[in-house]
Structure 1
Amino acid sequence: MISYLEANARQRIHALLDAGSFEEFLPPSLQIVSPHLAQLDTPASFDDGIVIGRGTLQGRTVLAAAQEGGFMGGAVGEVHGAKLVGLLKRAVSEGVDGVILLLETGGVRLHEANAGLIAVSEVMRAVLDTRAANIPVIVLVGGANGCFGGMGIVACCANDILMSEEGRLAMSGPEVIETTHGVEEFDSRDRALVWRTTGGKHRYLLGDCSAVLPDDIAAFRQAAFDTLMRYQQNSAQLTLEDLESEHALLNRRLQDFGNYSEPMDIWSRLGVANPEILPMLEAEAFMQKVAGKRAGEQR
């Protein structure tokens, strides 16, 4: 077993795709780095914290990107974002079978905030353009830094999100919430609370991700392939019906859970018996226990 959590970006992308199939675009040898970091005397990375390229997944041609959480927490800057946008545009021009994004990021780089914000908005547009071309975009989240900020929105623009229990997904990170609203609103040092609120299990129960997987790259590989194959039979395009369905789900969530601040109370409201044991369950046991209990499914 290769731990997704402990692997770096290159290890993840090489293990996820068929052996020897990955061809990296704009590798570190080209030394394409952020111009903004140099101006601030900040250390740069020759790949700007993201690996992009082409490969195959069980024989299917895909383009893939993996953010490196070890460099600035996977934060997005101008070059980082441009590499993502270019990859997505290339997916459309080549008509590949799918795009897989291995996201691990705290959001936009404060060192180049405006450029990073613009980059994230361009990535969102590129994701939707890719889906409009009927090419599925699949997001994997299982790194130590989670997926926060603008890239959390990018993830939700994709067709599917696959997470491990260790992965986290949200718009604002725990430290940001605590800084802006105080520790009374959210204690970022309460790790159990952080994972109950933003972790894969809670996101699955709310309907934000499609599966909770073991911390094993092989499990992510199989789940990504199964998801890709599902879109061989179904359109990957975003339709008005999809948007209306999503808005209806969000409205029901607000009505049903808007007064709750503790995720465990939400799990109980969803009909999960003994919700306090969910954090202790392995991924497979968790999926079995909560079958039919997700938001929108229990009605």
Structure 2
Amino acid sequence: MTQLTHKVIWITGASSGIGEALAKLAAQRGARLILSSRRGAELERVRQACPRPQDVAILPVDLSGLDDPEALAAQAATFFGPIDVLVNNAGISQRTAMLDTGMAAYRQLFEIDLFAPMALTKALAPAWVERGAGHVVVVSSVFGTIAMARRTGYAAAKHALHGFFDSARIELGHRGVNFTLACPGFVRTNVSVNALGPGGQPYGKSDHDIDGGMDPLVCAEKIWRAVEADRYEITIAGVERVAVLIKRFLPLRWYTAFARRLRVN
């Protein structure tokens, strides 16, 4: 069991949405936090909203081009000591069809959604192996297990996350490093507003599914409970869980036909 009290937890994408909710709930559990995103002012807002702001540090970073993850990890450790839990939450989505999506947009998606989590995890993993303790939390998506129109790059990056971290668990799980993959469905965040739209620009609109989605605090509480129970993977979804089950248990042609009928932004 992973207890969060007194743990040093580094959360990326912590300036809003699920990351902000994870920070607030972890702080309530007595953890010390390092919060990262591009927006320093928003990180400070989240820090002030946490219990005991003195136990929360902010580390602004742009994960779209992470040149020296080891140096960044070393900087994170200067606040409260060695990192116990890394939460790879930062990410960007997509709202464009394959034929309208340039390779630059795909590369941006992979840099943030896949390569940054890989790099930060690799930077911290050697110390965890030496200590025999550490925990990686990966905020993936139901799109890590299913596919949908207008999500080619997003689904590809999330599927790749599962391949990488499931493999890493096989290599390091018996050496004290735990891995929890959380797969939320629709959560009320700015993921659609900030998603890549035509020309690689922000989509700028919120989907009706996102607007009607789960409260971020509810999602975050489910994630932390899964972490505390050392669960390998958790799907956090409402009606969208139906798509996950169809993909898992029925012929792929059935899922493909089902997905084509869905109205997606």
Band the TM-score falls in, shorter-chain normalisation:
0.3 to 0.5
**Structure ID, larger Rg:** 1
TM-score, normalization: structure 2? 0.39
Identify which of structures 1 and 2 has the higher relative contact order when contacts are C-alpha pairs closer than 8 Å and 6+ apart: 2
